[in-house]
Every structure is written in C-alpha cells, then in structure tokens.
C-alpha cells in the first residue's frame, strides 16, 4: 500500500511542472514605468502573456549555433595540436635513438681500429677475430655509419 501511494505521489510531483508552466507568465508596466513579471495577471492592468517554454530571447538560437560551431572547431584544433605534439615527440625520440646508434657504431669502429686483438662472443666464449673478418666488419661499420650518421 505504501509503495503504491509513493508511486502515485511521485507521478503527481512529476506532472506538477506541466500545470505550472501552462499558466503562463504575465508582464506589465506600472504607473511609474517599472516592468513587472508575475504568474498572476493584475486586475485592471494591460498585460502581456509570456510562455516560458517557448519564449526564447532574440538571437539565442544563433548564439547557440555559433557556440556549437566554436566548440566543434576547438575540438578539431585541440585534436590537431595533440597529434602534432605526438609527432614532434616521436621525431625527437627517433633523433635521440639515431644519435645513440651512431655513437655506438663509431665506438665499435674505433675499437676495431685501435685494438690489436678484437674478440667476439661465440657460444658464450670469447673468440679472436682474424684480420680478414676484422676488415670486413670495419667496412660494414663504416657503411652503417655513413647511412645512419649522415
């Protein structure tokens, strides 16, 4: 019973704005020139009935459309700016990686040029690189440096 009464009360409360908005709002000017608004028409005064549901200020629809366009443009600009920032970050990261690779290649080449013996790990054990293989590896490193660092 209580639940049913609550449902009925809730339904009536939801309908209340419909009844109050259908009454309308009245606008009138008094003898001193002041404009008044009320939900009751004064006796003997010339009133103008306003409907608050449909009364829209002049230019409000145009302003809303302009605001929506500006918001849309803002979102497009923001998305583009974020994409540009991400591309710039990627470019910086790529350049940093290129410089690191270049430094490592030069260091490896310097090792081949200055050390009498150069070792390479094979199955976890150091093995000396012979002279011919050393020259080939130096050529490969020089080619990689030319491609990467220039």
- CA dihedral defined by 37, 40, 42, 48, rounded to 10 degrees? 50
Mean pLDDT of 22-43: 79
Looking at per-residue pLDDT, the higher value among 23 and 122 belongs to: 122
Q: In Å, what is the CA distance from 90 to each residue of 87, 97, 150?
A: 5, 10, 20
55-65 confidence digits (pLDDT tens): 556 677 788 88
- Structure tokens that stand for 37 in this block: 């608004």
pTM, two decimals, is 0.50
Q: Are 47 and 24 in contact (CB under 8 A)?
A: no
Residue 54 clears pLDDT 70, i.e. is over it: no
What is the token pair recorded at 144?
A: 């990689």
The two structure tokens encoding residue 58 = 């002049």
Q: Is the pLDDT of residue 13 over 60?
A: no
pLDDT at 145 over 50: yes
Cα–Cα separations (whole angstroms), residue 148 to 12, 44, 109:
78, 93, 14
Q: What is 106-129 written as a DSSP string? A: HHHHHHHHH-S--EEEETTEEEEP
pLDDT digits (tens, 9 = 90+) for 74-125: 999 999 999 999 999 999 999 999 999 999 999 999 999 998 888 888 999 9
């Amino acid at each position: 019973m209580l639940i049913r009464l609550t449902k009925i009360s809730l339904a009536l409360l939801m309908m209340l704005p419909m009844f109050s908005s259908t009454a309308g709002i009245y606008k009138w000017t008094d003898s001193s020139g002041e404009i008044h608004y009320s939900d009751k028409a004064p006796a003997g005064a010339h009133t103008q009935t306003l409907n608050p549901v449909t009364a829209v200020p002049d230019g409000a629809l145009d302003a809303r459309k302009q605001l929506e366009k500006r918001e849309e443009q803002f979102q497009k600009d923001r998305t583009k700016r974020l994409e540009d920032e991400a591309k710039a970050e990627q470019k910086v990261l790529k350049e940093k990686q290129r410089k690191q690779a270049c430094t490592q290649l030069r260091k490896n080449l310097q090792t081949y040029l200055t050390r009498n013996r150069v070792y390479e790990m094979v199955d976890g054990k150091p093995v000396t690189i012979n002279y011919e293989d050393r020259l080939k590896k130096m050529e490969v490193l020089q080619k990689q440096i030319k491609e990467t660092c220039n």
